[in-house]
Structure 1
Amino acid sequence: MSPTRISERTRRLAHGLRLNQTQGEKRLWRVLRELKTEGVHVRRQAPIGSYVADFAIFSRKIIVEIDGDVHSLTDQIDHDRERDAWLSSEGFEVVRYSSAQVSENLEGVVLDIRRRLDLE
């Protein structure tokens, strides 16, 4: 499925995820949305194809994911690999941080993202 062809189901899922962000997503969103002042538009819970990215920077083709404990389960690891492979085939770079990284080192996570965006 093309990233521009988003099903109604995926749109509803993205909307629901925006309403129910995790604590890590909320904390990171507060910082990432400020990148707008530097000319970088970040979308949260953005539908892409049949997937929903935690954060998407379409102008730079970067996806930022915040992974909680569920991402260490075998089925989820397989799903994430499949998802990342599809996103990569569409030209996206997928960057993953654990919830613990966001919680314990938000500044470091933000600095890494800023470097990837050539803002540092």
Structure 2
Amino acid sequence: MRPGQKSTFARRLRRSMTDAEHRLWFHLRNRALMGCKFRRQHPVGPYVADFACIERGLIVEVDDGQHSNSHADERRTGYLRSRGYRVLRFWNNDVLMRTDAVLEQIHAALARNVVSLD
């Protein structure tokens, strides 16, 4: 995918977020969690991360059933980790039904050492 296409694709993903992504974004936007800035549908290399906190080197992915045991997700996570990111994955159902528990896990990940991506 060419750079301009990736930006267009990310923009389209922002407009068509799932219910779970909307719920999580409500809690992550405007530096609402620990004062950390999150970007939604943020391009990273050949991928588009659901949510990325660049300053803390954290990516949060929200997955549905199509992602169970996905080798593509393993490659994606490996790529993101090779770029210095920590990756958290949550199921849509967990985000919708156990939002507080998901936010606690994200909070704990943000509280860990700050990662420099220079």
- Is 2:76 the counterpart of 1:83? yes
Equivalent residue letter for 2:21: E
Quote the offset at 1:34 in angstroms: 4.3
- Is 2:104 the counterpart of 1:111? yes
Q: TM-score, normalised by structure 2?
A: 0.87
Unaligned runs of 5+ in 1: 1-5
Aligned position for 1:22: 18
Equivalent residue letter for 2:83: E
Separation in 1, partners of 2:73, 2:108 = 24
* TM alignment of 1:1-120, pairs within 5 A: 7-36=3-32, 38-72=34-68, 77-118=70-111
C-alpha contact (below 8 Å) 1:36/1:42 kept by paired residues: no
Q: TM-score, normalised by structure 1?
A: 0.86
1:37-96 Cα deviation digits (max 9, x unpaired) = 743100001011111000000001100000101102x6xx11111111111110011100
Quote the offset at 1:23 in angstroms: 0.3
Q: How many residues align?
A: 111
C-alpha contact (below 8 Å) 1:7/1:50 kept by paired residues: no
Unaligned runs of 5+ in 2: 113-118
Separation in 1, partners of 2:33, 2:93 = 27
C-alpha contact (below 8 Å) 2:41/2:50 kept by paired residues: yes
Separation in 2, partners of 1:44, 1:28 = 10
Identity of aligned residues (%): 36
Separation in 2, partners of 1:71, 1:38 = 29
Aligned position for 1:3: none
C-alpha contact (below 8 Å) 2:34/2:107 kept by paired residues: no
Runs of 4+ in 1 over 4 A off after TM superposition: none
Equivalent residue letter for 2:10: A
